[in-house]
Structure 1
């Protein structure tokens, strides 16, 4: 997935996540996505390439970096808890969307229950009719 398309796909997914908002605390070059004031995704450019930076569980982050050349340690973030999606590796749209959702849910899990816009344990599950 090419750079701008990678960022667009990630941003489209964010629009579907309750309570998510776009901010620019680091200036116009950084799109910072938050839920209840906590960062779960960033967009910027690294070496003139648009990238997406996401939170990930440490074991998942390690496995993703091993499995995909386009996934590297989090740019300017804690390398254990963050990953960077790079446009040159041909990541599938479904994977990008899943990683954005997982990053969002990881942040939600750390929030007090009364501040969560949705329950991270059941978000996205279909209820039986």
Structure 2
């Protein structure tokens, strides 16, 4: 059976994305390799360094840029990540200067919040309501 090894978010600036995803969200750099005019740039969960990688992929292709722009304009997150405690995550991310688009909000069995990654995407964080 296949397993998820790499997934991606399209970003408008790889360096700024690396700063956000490591210094604000707390992921760690996995790979940073030259790839033509860009980089093969991935981050991983620090608790699972051999787990799935998030590729910070340039939005240089017109279709990718249009897709990311449309999602952002409509308020649709490009990716979702799990956190143990949404309220603690909110406090920590606020301290780190994250732009909170939607504060923690109860949505049935989960709590969600949305942040702007500064690179063209909205990112949703979620936690089970009973945690």
Q: Do the structures match in fold with TM over 0.5?
A: no
Give the TM-score taking structure 1 as reference length: 0.28
Q: Counting strand residues as a fraction of each chain, which structure ranks higher?
A: 2
Higher helix share: 1
TM-score (norm 2): 0.27
